[in-house]
Amino acid sequence: MFAYVVKRLIAGIVVVFMVSMAVFLLFWYGPNEPARPLCDQQTSNHCDTARLARYTENLGYNNPVLSEYGTFVKGIFVGRDMTIGTKTRPCPAPCFGYSYRTTVPVWGEMKTRLPATFSVAIGGASLYLLFGIPIGVAAARRRGTVADKALVSSFLVLSSIPYYLFALLTWLYLTVIFEIPFLSDTGYHPFTDNPAKWFSGLLLAWIVLGIFGCTQYTRYSRGAMIEALSEDYIRTAKAKGLPARTVVYKHGLRAALVPIVTIFGIDFGVLLAGTIFTERIFDIQGIGFWSLQAVTAKDLPVVEATALFSAVVLVVANLLVDVIYSVLDPRVRLS
């Protein structure tokens, strides 16, 4: 087990390293000068050739690419000094640079937005599992009945709707047209400031994520449960006279959870990496909304930082999923 975890950890580090290099090279060899967005921002879109050359030199874009990449990586671990315009500023570790749009350290701004994204991800993912798995198990136990067919058909229709359209229409009807009081004030409010406002501000986003994700997890759970209940050891358990609940929930469900955990680990990693549509529609100032603003404003340091954050989150999520396998299913052996 330990050797397996070490190997996966090394592979994850390599993946993050490759992602960081790819994003860095995209900025370096992109169609536009990488220093121009900052120069335009600092000079109110009056960036002439001389000013652009000065910003390019100060940001190191005229140095060898490998040297600057090494400086970037070093800054993540030990920090560095950065020259922006005519000012040299310290950038403590982990240094992802200064935002072109707000001129503040990227990591400092990211830390303020992480609680919002974590709140959205944990709430939405909890509803995935809380409703999706029990409904899927119930449908599997009643396979072929009218209730099963109606449930699967309705969920299939709902999941075929684009998520951004479903979220937008839900927000429009519940907050604008019907003006439901406890759902109208969407957005993120710190839990420590006002727990009730934190809950009400995120409730609609959780509901939308939960309903939409529940349709998928119901189908995943139903399919995995049907397969698990057809195994030989399940028939043996039934032949021994074990209660139906024990057979279904202790033996069948445990095996059925293995593929669901795989999908959930990736989905939860994606949620943590940034729910762009959710945060944009419900005005939640998290990582996803922040990355969307950065792309629009060509804020290259923020785009690079959010890309690296997404890579790290997905690598960690996949590593945890692989380790949990052996706990859920004894037949899985890691070597």
pLDDT at 118: 92
Interatomic CA distance for residues 97 and 5, integer angstroms: 32
- The domains found in the chain, sorted by start residue, are 2-91 (no CATH), 110-328 (1.10.3720.10)
pLDDT digits (tens, 9 = 90+) for 78-105: 998 887 766 788 888 888 888 888 888 9
Q: At what angle do helices 106-141 and 253-273 cross, to 10 degrees?
A: 150
Interatomic CA distance for residues 286 and 121, integer angstroms: 11
| Global confidence as pTM | 0.83
pLDDT at 110: 93
Give the distance from CA 127 to its chain's centroid: 16
Rg (CA), the chain: 24
Does the N-terminal peptide bond of residue 94 adopt cis geometry, omega within 30 degrees of 0?
Answer: yes
Of the candidate ranges 43-57, 144-158, 232-246, the one whose mean pLDDT is the lowest: 43-57
208 pLDDT tier (thresholds 50, 70, 90): very high
Tokens coding 186: 């969407």
| DSSP code at position 173 | I
The answer on pLDDT for 328 being more than 90 is no
The answer on pLDDT for 331 being more than 70 is no
